[in-house]
Structure 1
Amino acid sequence: MRKSLFFLPLFFLVSFVFAQSIPDGYRSAKSNLQSGNYWEAMNAFREFTDEASYGDLALYAAFHAGEAAIKANQAQAAIDLLKPLAERSWLHQNESKILLAQAYFLNNNSLEALPVVASIQEQKFESKASNLAYDYLVKESPDFLIRNLKEYQNLPVYTAALSAVLRKKNVLSSDEKSLFYELQGQNQNWSSTGSNNGVFDLVVILPFSNSSQSIATEGFIYELYQGIQLAINQLKKEGMSVSLNTFDSKRSMDAVRAILEEEQVQNADAIIGPIYPEETDLVSSFAEAAKIPFIHPLSNLGDRYVGNSYSYLFRPSSENIAEGIAKGLKSSLAGDRIAIAFGGSSRDTKVAELLKDKLENDGFELVNYQEISPRNAATFLTNLGIRPTLDSVEVLVDQVVVLSDDPNMADPILSLVESVTTSVPIFVMDSWLTFNFANYEMLPYDNFYFISNNTPNFESEKMVQLKDQFYRSYSFFPSTNSILGTELVYWLYSNLNPDLDTDFRTSLDQQVFQAGKLTWGFNFQNSNSNRYVPVFHFVEGELKPINNP
């Protein structure tokens, strides 16, 4: 939005009206204003502001003197020149108000500018005034905007600016979050009563492409969608009333906004996706206003959804994972000396910070706490005394936690552990189970423990059936993302199907633990994410949780 508000048509109008009597000095002032000589223009126009001497020409001179003063960063001078024009009834009163509002904003006095903006009623000038006000208001602090919201809550540009300012904050208080979602609903005019058609209407919004590329038919997004589509097809085969509407977000906020205007979205029973932060913020805002459950299918970062009523993570949050690891460390009974290694992702860093605080509060001794990379991952262990030449009694730590899904981090760690005689428990994310270079049965000791992140139950009867169904549909076996896509649909349907007498939130709260079809289960009681984070261990070749639901 531009804050440059030249009103050049006034030059032509005044030239037409006063063509026979415009002084040369006035013409020279106009020329200076047009060529950017603002100080000269301002002082030259002042000579013609005496209405007794110059009549209506004085009004135009004052107007353009105020305009030049703004361009010369002389805000108070502009206010003095423009305020009388804005308060009197004349042909260009609205233009005068817009310039006066700009002068107040330039003078860091938004509370004087806003009443001027609000006083502009003529539609063709409202948008100019709103654009000007928005550009200045989004630079104000959240505290300022919230403090004065009551007075200006009926001014659309004010609430839009407050919403934009809150969106930029990394961390929102609970009050700010509530206000943010309320404002998003007001600004977008979002509402929904649901279709109430006896059909489970599911909407999927995923970035299948970007604005310049065709739809990709490979990668984790497409794998996730294949699992979703398979579950929908299976539910239909079983006689369930379900529908699926799919939209491509294209990594474009404009595309997402357009999608949210679609009738199928506004009447959906649930929305899966999108996945990228700025897109999920917008869809979450829509979900809160329209009262439609929105589920992020893959993320563990759920801070922004805490306290919301309709926005969920399908997977555990960082807080859930940290809590599950802490319980697992206690269950293993291996000792209180702990070392934590973590990768550079937002999830890994967040979980590490939370786990560190939790363990220190619980009386554990933190021997080492370090961000690692593939280059120093093995060194992290050797510095703890986990070396081929040492026995377990010389190791400096009782338990190790490695927080990373990076196979390049896992490879050197597994290679080292294969060559040592230590039985120190090593806790890793469940993604390590899927690395094709990992053979845990060949290790000297069965000392790896796996932290659940909606872990698939690979040996279950339902999983065997899924693999068969998936292979018949796609001619290859499902990836973890496909399994999660299928499980997500089953979980949603079990808590949202049209035959249930309760809403989604109530259904989740009534179940402390809900067994999964393809995963080990869920606990969403009083939570916007999966609180069930068991730690698994191989027992006679089978993966078993060491802590109960």
Structure 2
Amino acid sequence: MNYIALLAFLLLSGGTLQAQDALKAYREAKQAILDEDYKAGMEGLRPYLDKNTYGQLSAYAHMHFALAAFRNEQFNLASSTLQALGQPPAGKESEWHYLQALLKFQQKDYIGGLTAVELIRDEQVYARAEEATFTYLRQAPLSSLVGNMRAFQRNKGFLAATSALLQEKSVMSTEEAQALSQIQANVVGETGAASVKPTLNREQLDIAVVLPFSFGEEKGKAALEGNNFLFELQQGMQLAVEEQQKRGRKLQMQSFDTERDPAKVLSILQEPYLRTADVMIGPLYPEETRLIGDFARQRALPFINPLSNLDDLVQDNPQAYLFRPAVGTIAARIVDHLSGALQAKRIALAYSPSSRDQLLAESIKQQAARKGIRITQEEEIRGNGMRSFLERLGIESREVQVDAILILSDNPSIAQPTLAQVEAIDFETPIIVPDSWLFFPFANYEMKAESQFLFFGNNTIPQTGRKLRHFREQFFERYQAYPSVNAQLGYEMILWLSETLSPAKGLDLHQNLSKQGLFQNGISLGLDFQKGGRSNAYVPLVRLVRGELVIQ
């Protein structure tokens, strides 16, 4: 994250100067610095360093010149330029001390840099200085930081860097343990959880993506090509980021491949970007979640599992979120529809051996029992067992003795025989299935089957509408392929995050979600975290009527 950006903006936009033709070269030099052509900017400013000729303007030119030299990694030149100036120009005292702090940090004069930070009075500049403090102090001697806790405890970047260095130690001295305890005591929030996260770039949303894009024998780019569902997710996210940036949204995304390797996960957590990100997408698997959980808790960094419905992954960590609905939420919505709209008393339940489907089936059984609904036939479907399950229900004889059939599986080998038998045999019993069944290429929901099938939502993406058409066109233009469901989910997730978190609204995910209500500005049917807290609580049941999804 570029912690000099604010200084450049303040210097180059401030200090009201008379715009005259004689100053054209001066303005061009400032613009060159903004355009990151530092050498050209410095050359353009050189004539204006003459105090006898340009008076007070020379002081501002010195500041611009020193900034450009620093950005061009000419640190000694930047330092000597400030020394030649002697004191800051009027109104630029905070920027002066900020640049002095950066130079001292660069020279490894950490205490000098920290002292300069404490002279900054402008709150916005001080916040940037805290960020720079965190970046530079990660290389500082720990003993000097612990010994100066009292002097610099106002600086959140100092606290974050000291805490990070302390936690890297396998054995701490008594003084170091006391210092860590003091830091945690200083930053306990209302939730009671310690946060040592440094002050971030409040002008930009920074998203870290931490997912196992490749693992096993194949790693790197080759492993990401082909039918990799996480690569598809990443494609959707990247397209959304680029679109939001073109629309003027200030956001950035950086991705890290865990390779499903604990050692790799730990190395990723040392990345500077991870320590200053606003939100993390990932991890995916339980073993990665456990490794990242403490890191996220300590730094108040919200992290979002993009695909799972298993709420046991998020229950014990206030920073953990599910992008999709939790198993219990899906079960409650299905059972409410069974007992309400369908007035069901007896149901049949089939489910796959996957963890999600087994837990969902168990939750439905428990909640159905409380509503007085009996499960008269239940089976975990393996292999080709779906056809025999339907036969035992009496479908072929049209003597089905249940009020509804629930099939919990995203597996096409379960969906295909079900659809084949429903098409071949005339019976009226409602069948409730996941919304993934909408996207199987062999699915044909025509005529009678339209009203018979109910699809329960799991961040459902309808396959019609202006926004979806736009997304598909842009995706095809970029990748020369049509987007998969995972690509659509990745795209939707970035739209949701960019709407929820922004410099104007603030970057506190939990607080913003509590105020947001139902989000319907993307391509899905909707997302609602206000009710669900840390997972999507919006689980519509829909029918497909004349090619359109109709919410029940």
Q: Shorter-chain TM-score: what band?
A: 0.5 to 0.7
378, 387, 390: which one aligns with 1:381: 390
Counterpart AA for 1:304? L
**What's 1:328 paired with?**
337
Correspondence for 2:308 among 294, 299, 321: 299
Q: Report whether the alignment pairs 1:475 with 2:480.
A: yes
Distance 1:516 1:406 in 2: 30
SS in 2 for 1:441: coil
For residue 263 of structure 1, what is the aligned residue in structure 2?
A: 272
Find 1:414's aligned residue among 416, 419, 427: 419
* 1:291-370 correspondence to structure 2 within 5 Å: 291-306=300-315, 308-333=317-342, 335-370=344-379
Q: What is the aligned counterpart of 1:527 among 494, 511, 533?
A: 533
What letter is aligned with 1:509? S
Asked if structure 2 preserves the Cα contact closer than 8 Å seen for 1:374 and 1:412, the reply is no
Please report the RMSD computed on the Cα atoms of aligned residues, expressed in angstroms: 2.4
Q: Quick check: 300-309 or 316-325, which moved more? A: 300-309
Looking at structure 1, the residues matched to 435 and 529 of structure 2 have their Cα atoms a distance apart, in angstroms, of: 20
2:543 counterpart residue number = 537
Query: Which one of the candidate residues 424, 445, 454 is aligned to 1:449?
Result: 454
Indicate conservation of the 8 Å contact 1:302/1:318, yes or no.
yes
State the alpha-carbon separation in 1 of the partners of residues 337 and 441 from structure 2.
Answer: 25
Give the Å deviation of 1:233.
0.4
Q: 1: CA distance between counterparts of 2:239 and 2:292?
A: 24
Structure 2 CA distance for aligned equivalents of residues 502 and 278 of structure 1: 28
* Contact kept? 1:302, 1:313, Cα under 8 Å: yes
TM-score by length of structure 2 reads 0.62
Equivalent residue for 1:217?
225
In the TM superposition, residue 182 of structure 1 has moved relative to its aligned partner by: 9.9
1:397 lines up with 2:394 in the alignment: no
Q: Any idea what SS the aligned residue of 2:529 has?
A: coil
Q: Is the 8 A contact 2:289 2:313 kept in 1?
A: no
Does the Cα contact within 8 Å between 1:205 and 1:273 map onto a contact in 2? Answer: yes
Q: Percent identity?
A: 38
Query: What amino acid maps onto 2:461 in structure 1?
Result: P
- Paired with 1:435 and 1:212, the residues of 2 have a C-alpha distance of 30
Q: Secondary structure at the match of 1:367?
A: strand
2:518 is matched with which residue: 497, 505, 513? Answer: 513
User: What is the distance in 1 between the residues matched to 2:204 and 2:442?
Assistant: 45
**Aligned mate of 2:498, from 493, 499, 523:** 493
Does 2:377 align with 1:371? Answer: no
Secondary structure, in 3 states, of the residue corresponding to 1:234?
Answer: helix
For residues 274-285 of structure 1, the aligned pairs below 5 Å read: 274-285=283-294
1:479-533 superposed Cα distances (whole Å, 9 cap, x missing partner) = 1000000111111111111211472111111233222411111121252111111
Note the C-alpha offset of 1:442: 5.5
CA contact (8 A) 1:194 1:268 kept: no
Task: State the Cα deviation string for residues 451-498 of structure 1 (Å, max 9, x = none).
Answer: 111010221211111001101111111110000001111111111112
The answer to whether the Cα contact below 8 Å between 2:235 and 2:490 also exists between their aligned partners in 1 is yes
- 1:198 to 2:195 alignment: no
Q: Where do 5+ consecutive residues of structure 2 fail to align?
A: 1-168, 173-187
Aligned residues: 362
Contact 2:286 2:313 in 1 (8 A): no
- Counterpart of 1:248 in structure 2: which amino acid? D
TM-score normalised by the chain length of structure 1: 0.63
How far apart, CA to CA, are the structure 1 residues paired with 2:307 and 2:403? Answer: 32
Alpha carbons 2:450, 2:545 under 8 Å: kept: no
Q: Would you identify which runs of 4 or more consecutive aligned residues in structure 1 move more than 6 Å?
A: 155-158
Deviation, structure 1 residue 443:
5.1
What's 2:468 paired with?
Answer: 463
Q: 1:366 deviation in Å?
A: 1.4
SS class of match (1:538): strand
Q: Partner residue of 2:41?
A: none
Q: Is the 8 A contact 1:328 1:534 kept in 2?
A: no
Change (3 A) 1:418 1:194: farther
1:238 counterpart = 2:251: no
Query: Any unmatched runs of 5+ in structure 1?
Result: 1-154, 159-177
Report how far residue 445 of structure 1 moved: 6.2
CA contact (8 A) 1:487 1:516 kept: no
Which secondary structure state, in structure 1, belongs to the residue aligned with residue 499 of structure 2? helix
Q: Distance in 2 between matches of 1:489 and 1:335?
A: 39
Residue identity in the other structure for 1:324: R
* C-alpha contact (below 8 Å) 2:456/2:540 kept by paired residues: yes
2-side partners of 1:325 and 1:545: how far apart? 13
Tell me the SS of whatever aligns to 1:380. helix
* Alpha-carbon offset, residue 334 of structure 1: 5.3
SS of the aligned residue for 1:232 comes to helix
**Counterparts of residues 31-180 of structure 1 (less than 5 Å):** none
Offset from partner CA, 1:229-273 (integer Å, 9 cap, x none): 001000111011111111111111111111111110110011111
Equivalent position amino acid for 2:533 in 1: S
Q: Residues of 2 paired with 1:342 and 1:535: CA distance?
A: 18
Q: Which amino acid aligns with 2:298?
A: A
8 A Cα contact 2:278 2:507, kept in partner: no
Aligned mates of 1:291, 1:457 — CA distance in 2: 34
Q: Distance in 2 between matches of 1:534 and 1:469?
A: 28
| Worse-superposed segment, 330-339 or 506-515 | 330-339
Q: Which has the larger radius of gyration?
A: 1
State the 1:212 CA deviation: 4.3
Which letter maps to 1:529? S
SS at match of 1:440: coil
Contact kept in structure 2, 1:194 and 1:266, CA below 8 Å: no
